[in-house]
Amino acid sequence: MLTICVKLSEFERVHDVAKRFDNVWCTVGVHPHEADSETGVTAQRIIDATQSPDVVGIGETGLDYFYDNAPRKEQKACFLAHIEAARETQLPLIIHARDADEDMADILETEHAKGAFPFLLHCFSSGPELAQRAVAIGGYVSLSGIITFKKADDIRETVKLLPMERLLVETDSPYLAPVPHRGKANEPAFTAHTAEKLAEIKGVTPEEIAAVTTANFHTLFTKIPPVAN
């Protein structure tokens, strides 16, 4: 399991969870909602936190123009610091993007041109253009229980366009529990339902989705050793 940090001020609490359990890892980062309230966010501070073997990714970071809980200027500055850290460490960047497709795609392409870095569009709910532009520069797309929702036809259509070798599944726990558990607190076991829906969308078996998304996870999160069969 991968547990996500959304505030640097709470990183040690998240890190402690990862250190307690052999099958849990964590990230370090600042969610765009917290971009102006979390002070002293620098690439070096993020890089320093990644030296632990339990810290396997950077983020959650990105842009959220739906809620605009932080000024967009601060969101972008914070996001760029995370990109710099990802480029330096080559650890995957976990990206939150909501109602910011054009800016997100432009920033990713501009920054990628300065030097490649691995990244993941987490809990994907954006349009096809962002997804395709991200995949074109090496990005991955992670799908949550949203793809099981009745009104998510547009997202399912986008998923059809994406290559299997760039897809993952996730919970976004405790949010976005998939059908048939919608409305309940989400949990890791529920990813089975998301994977089943993904298999239906792609026209393959659930077992194939399990194998492919697990392989993709380990290709992206290189610090996590694969589980022995």
Tens digits of per-residue pLDDT, 52-72?
999 999 999 999 999 999 999
Give the helix/strand (H/E) hosting 12: helix 11-20
Tell me the three state secondary structure of residue 150: coil
Instruction: Quote the CA–CA distance of 51 and 71 in Å, as a whole number.
Output: 30
For the stretch 96-116, pLDDT in tens is 999 999 999 999 999 999 999
Q: Is 218 annotated as a binding residue?
A: no
Q: Is 96 annotated as a binding residue?
A: yes
For the stretch 144-170, pLDDT in tens is 999 999 999 999 999 999 999 999 999
| Predicted structure pTM score | 0.96
The distance of Cα 10 from the centroid of its chain, to the nearest Å, equals 19
What are the structural domains of the chain?
Answer: 59-220 (3.20.20.140)
Q: Is 181 annotated as a binding residue?
A: no
Q: How confident is the model at residue 219 (pLDDT cuts 50, 70, 90)?
A: very high
